[in-house]
Amino acid sequence: MSSFSTAERVERSGQRPLTSHDPRRLQLFCGNANPDLAREIGAYLGVPDGPRVIKRFADGELYIQIQESIRGCDVFLIQPTCAPVNDHLMELMIMVDACRRASARQITAVIPYYGYARADRKTAGRESITAKLVANLLVKSGVERVLAMDLHSSQIQGYFDIPCDHIFGSPVLVDYLATRNLGEVVVVSPDVGGVARARAFAKQMSDAPLAIIDKRRSGHNVAESLTVIGDVTGKTAVLIDDMIDTGGTICQGAKLLRQRGASRVLACATHAVFSPPALERLSEPGLFEEVVVTNSIPLPPDRHFPQLRVLSVANMLGEAIWRIHQESSVSSMFR
């Protein structure tokens, strides 16, 4: 995706630049989940991260105060609900409540990674559909619009009873792969449920062929790969998924692709959840040539490994924020 300067955005949209006297000016605030990403987004927009206080009382309760007037402003709160999920979710809702009580014109929750997304339906009796519960909590807290990236399943967008803009990290991944000399590529879905995602990714990769790994689960975070549907012999296999959690699914898929004759194997995912023992699995010598993820979830240096490549989605999120503020099309970014 192209990176636009503020001047180019103003020229393209026909709007004047934002000023501190604009009554509906754009304001950015971030929580503690991913401040580095928030700073990158602010740099793209030319809007600094707003001043706020976030602290804990002795008993662990959160205290948040917005430290400047936001009356009549378009406020965007940048907070992925990554681990620790409950802390970051509660922090987001308290920020929303503080902005609502400060008379913000509109409050948009920018959620690069949506926690609890995998609990999007009932697979057994007496289970919670937690993805819907979290959506309800956010709406009740005062969120008026959501900007999310690569939700685990498309139906989650409909769980919100407010506008929800759903964008994708694939353009950033595809642009990076285009700079690599990958030879003959086959895009691989690690399971049947990810076929639609892999098909869309393959189309962006100059209509690359598609392969599917037939996989069955015997429990949560436990996967058993069975066979590959499609030809991967002598090709560069690009495994694509929305997230990598423990790494079991994608690593078993990579081993199977190697057994079926793939010459090179790369893994691509938007969200690097990387729960233990993901780092040990992904960094296994001779398994992946490269593991490409985005910074939707922060990855400190001690969670990096030689095969890892982290790409920034700040410009894409910044452009989406700008378009929401200017009340222009977000979906046209992906046409």
Residues catalogued as catalytic: 215
Q: What is the DSSP string of 142-172?
A: T--EEEEES-SSGGGGGG-SS-EEEE-SHHH
| Residue in the block written with tokens 């697979």 | 123
CB-based burial label for 201 (10 Å; 0-12, 13-18, 19+)? buried
| Nearest CA among 107, 120, 55, 101 for reference residue 78 | 107
Residues 241, 250: Cα–Cα separation, whole Å = 8
Residues 212, 188: Cα–Cα separation, whole Å = 5
The set of residues, in sequence order, having a beta carbon less than 8 Å from that of 101 and lying 6+ positions away, is: none
Determine the Cα angle at 147 with ends 135 and 87, to 5°.
55
HEC string of 173-238 equals HHHHHCCCCCCCEEEEECCHHHHHHHHHHHHHCCCCCEEEEEEEEEECCEEEEEEEECCCCCCEEE
Q: Specify whether the CB–CB gap between 292 and 311 falls below 8 A.
A: yes
Three-state DSSP class for residue 35: helix
Q: How many CA atoms lie within 13 A of 52 on its CB side?
A: 29
